[in-house]
């Protein structure tokens, strides 16, 4: 019974979700001079560019652009606010690489979302820096065949274990109930001796 309920829940109620990842990198701006001051200014510019790149994913700018392109190019109507729930961006400290993870009910949609987010990021940074090569998309997201958010077999096994424990508890309780002596006649039969008296318990 537990297995049947768990299987129905895992495969019928819970819907699988798929994840895809696109990888982008913020390029270091070329510096052809050996001037110390200019090199320091360039390093400061690169640091500020990384900070700007990180902050973009905390605003709606990139998400708005991706949402518009998903509707226009892929016929996916996903709002900017919904994209923010479906997309996660990883970036380690002082790293120029940005991993854009997208999750959706269909593997193809997850890949489309991740790729459009990467393209929107690239376009937004280019508009800020006036350089089209500021961000490079190193790896396009591809549809995944394996679901990431649900594990049906784990739920089925868990349901089997829970069902077994519930059944075992019911059997134990039933046996305990059967072993209860309810009358003095039953006690006399079990003890094979006469019952001399009965002590009555009164609730205080």
Range in 21-35, 47-61, 150-164 with the lowest mean pLDDT:
150-164
- Residues above pLDDT 90, as percent of the chain: 39
* Structure confidence at residue 11 (pLDDT): 47
Q: Kindly state whether residue 7 falls inside one of the protein's structural domains.
A: no
Same domain, 134 and 156: no
Q: Which residues contact 82 (CB under 8 A, 6 or more apart)?
A: none
Q: Which of 149, 147, 120, 138 is nearest to 57 (CA)?
A: 120
Q: Packing angle between helix 61-74 and helix 107-129, nearest 10 degrees?
A: 130
Residue 156, CA distances (Å) to 146, 150, 180 in order = 18, 12, 37
| Residue 66 domain boundaries | 17-139
User: Does residue 124 share a domain with residue 173?
Assistant: no
Mean per-residue pLDDT of the chain: 79
- Which of the four pLDDT bands, split at 50, 70 and 90, describes residue 179? low
Higher pLDDT, 16 or 118: 118
User: 19-23, 104-108, 195-199: which range is least confident on average?
Assistant: 195-199
pLDDT, tens digit (0-9, with 9 covering 90-100), for 51-102 = 889 999 988 999 999 999 999 999 999 999 999 999 999 998 878 999 999 9
CATH value at residue 39:
3.30.1890.10
Q: Domains in the chain: how many in total?
A: 2
Burial 144-155 (b: 16+ CB within 10 A, else e): eeebeeeebeeb
Same domain? 165 vs 126: no
Q: Does 10 reside within a domain?
A: no
> Does residue 4 surpass a pLDDT of 70?
no
| pLDDT at position 50 over 50 | yes
Is there a contact between 105 and 18 (Cβ–Cβ < 8 Å)? Answer: yes
- Same domain flag for 103 and 34: yes
Task: Kindly state whether residues 64 and 113 are assigned to the same domain.
Answer: yes
Q: Is the pLDDT of residue 40 over 80?
A: no
**Shared-domain flag, residues 55 and 118:** yes
Residue 13 pLDDT exceeds 50: no
* Domain shared by 101 and 163, yes or no: no
């Amino acid at each position: 019974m537990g297995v049947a309920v768990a299987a129905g829940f895992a495969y019928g109620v819970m819907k699988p979700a798929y994840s895809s990842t696109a990888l982008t990198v913020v390029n270091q701006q070329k510096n052809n001079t050996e001037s110390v001051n200019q090199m320091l200014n360039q390093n400061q510019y690169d640091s500020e560019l990384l900070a700007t790149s990180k902050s973009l994913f905390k605003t709606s700018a990139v998400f708005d652009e991706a949402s518009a392109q998903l509707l226009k190019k892929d016929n996916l109507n996903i709002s900017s606010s919904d994209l923010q729930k479906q997309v996660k961006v990883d970036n380690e400290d002082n790293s120029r690489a940005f991993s854009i993870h997208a999750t959706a009910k269909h593997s193809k949609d997850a890949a489309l979302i991740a790729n459009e987010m990467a393209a929107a990021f690239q376009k937004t940074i280019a508009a800020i820096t006036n350089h089209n090569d500021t961000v490079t998309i190193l790896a396009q997201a591809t549809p995944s065949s394996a679901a990431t958010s649900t594990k049906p077999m784990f739920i089925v096994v868990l349901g089997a274990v829970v069902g077994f424990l519930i059944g075992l508890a019911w059997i134990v309780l039933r046996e305990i109930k059967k072993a209860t002596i309810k009358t003095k006649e039953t006690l006399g039969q079990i003890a094979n001796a006469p019952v001399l008296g009965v002590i009555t318990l009164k609730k205080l």
